[in-house]
A and B are shown apart, each in its own frame.
Chain A
């Protein structure tokens, strides 16, 4: 793996993992992100996952597919995923591309995402017991 600034970070807040992508990722970096995140869900016994994609200026077919894959894998591992921070231009392009994003749960921003997880997954942002 190349050194340099971190491309993404995965932070824990109570039983929720907050995964932020910091910069444009290429395909293998996205795959690494997916692996790291799924791994962390198991280790941290997370109930909810928030993926912040606000820094992505391009969400193409591969990125959409990877996000859907993460959500599905997380669901199988017992966690609910919310994607937050999709930029308006990016949303426009995803629709034009014709991507099926029906299975992805999304929220406008981190706050909305946390609210959603608290309501549906019973995930708390307090310290784990």
Chain B
């Protein structure tokens, strides 16, 4: 009643009650066009504000149609804005990486880690490295000072850098390697020295040691490109097929005749299957050999239970699972060289080689 009274007093302006009565209508129009609820609410507000502002100019009885048109216009201008934003979005993209809030801290940690790593070098290593890298002294003058040759100094610098990389990673992680074997393995990997890696059985250690497996990633990334090794991680049935096709591909690049390719692929299939059947995880590494002749070497290693009696496993007919027992002896017959090292409780490594043009 009070509302009606006020409406009477100012005939040309609609009462708040009349505007309020428009809300459900406006909301329905906007909601049917704009799915997002928060946006829809904003648009309803916007429409009502406009209607309210214009209400003095709207003829009585025309308020509802006016609200409808206004609501439509508000929605349409939203769409237009969105479209314009979409079209121009690429202009406002800032391609510079944002400065992360933790950047300073990271830089500082990095510096600390390098400093920490440097202190772990011997005095002589550190002095030589800093003289070369920081002061820019060349290897020849360093060699003269140290009473050595330029080549030896360069080699020593390489070793020192490898060492520094390992110590840096350990300092960043703030860990000490869990076993005595970790450091030599990481050093061999960091230096990219394959003979040394083989001596310390680096690949096996990486399967066993989580820390070294993680740390070796950035270290290996350096030397990987020039090495032609193909590694296939083995866990499931499908990996057996992956390993043997990888071996076939590498072998065909080496120049083996088709029959040998099939033999190699089959041998790889047999030894890889043993990994899947008996061990949780393992890998197959395929390596191209140039010396003394062209050939291919396949190393299949696992961290499984190991084979208690290797000689028996190499005899035809021996099998611990539902097979023909021909896995290992069959693979041995297909390859030129075949060696198996197994340690109960630790795992098995099968190394097999085939030379181009044998037999």
Residues on A lying within 8 angstroms of B by beta carbon are: 24-29, 57-62, 64-65, 87-90, 92-93, 96-99
CA distance A57 to B266 in the complex (A): 9
Contact A28 B237 (CB under 8 A): yes
CB nearest neighbor in A for B327: A61
Known: A57-B262, A89-B261. A96 touches B238 (CB 8 A): no
Instruction: List CB contacts (< 8 Å) of B217-263 with chain A.
Output: 237-238, 240-241, 244-245, 248, 258-259, 261-263
CA distance A29 to B238 in the complex (A): 9
Contact B270 A61 (CB under 8 A): yes
A10 to chain B minimum Cβ distance, whole angstroms, is: 21
Residues of B within 8 A of A29 (CB): 237
Contact A93 B326 (CB under 8 A): no
CB nearest neighbor in B for A94: B266
CB nearest neighbor in A for B239: A26
Number of chain B residues close to chain A: CB under 8 A: 27
CA distance A89 to B334 in the complex (A): 12
A37 to chain B minimum Cβ distance, whole angstroms, is: 19
Contact B323 A62 (CB under 8 A): yes
Query: Binary interface profile of B, 85-118, with partner A (CB < 8 Å = 1, else 0)?
Result: 0000000000000000000000000000000000
* Apart from the given pairs A24-B244, A25-B241, 7 other A-B contacts in the complex at a CB distance below 8 Å: A58-B262, A60-B330, A62-B273, A64-B324, A89-B261, A90-B262, A97-B334
Residues of A within 8 A of B258 (CB): 89
Residues on B lying within 8 angstroms of A by beta carbon are: 237-238, 240-241, 244-245, 248, 258-259, 261-263, 265-266, 269-270, 273, 276, 316, 323-324, 326-327, 329-330, 333-334
CB nearest neighbor in A for B333: A96
B330 to chain A minimum Cβ distance, whole angstroms, is: 4
Cβ-neighbour of B323 out of A25, A26, A65, A87 (below 8 A): A65
B334 to chain A minimum Cβ distance, whole angstroms, is: 6
CB nearest neighbor in A for B325: A61
Contact A98 B316 (CB under 8 A): yes
Contact A57 B248 (CB under 8 A): yes
Contact B326 A61 (CB under 8 A): yes
CA distance A35 to B329 in the complex (A): 29
CB nearest neighbor in B for A2: B238
Contact A26 B238 (CB under 8 A): yes
Residues of B within 8 A of A89 (CB): 258-259, 261-262
CA distance A92 to B237 in the complex (A): 25
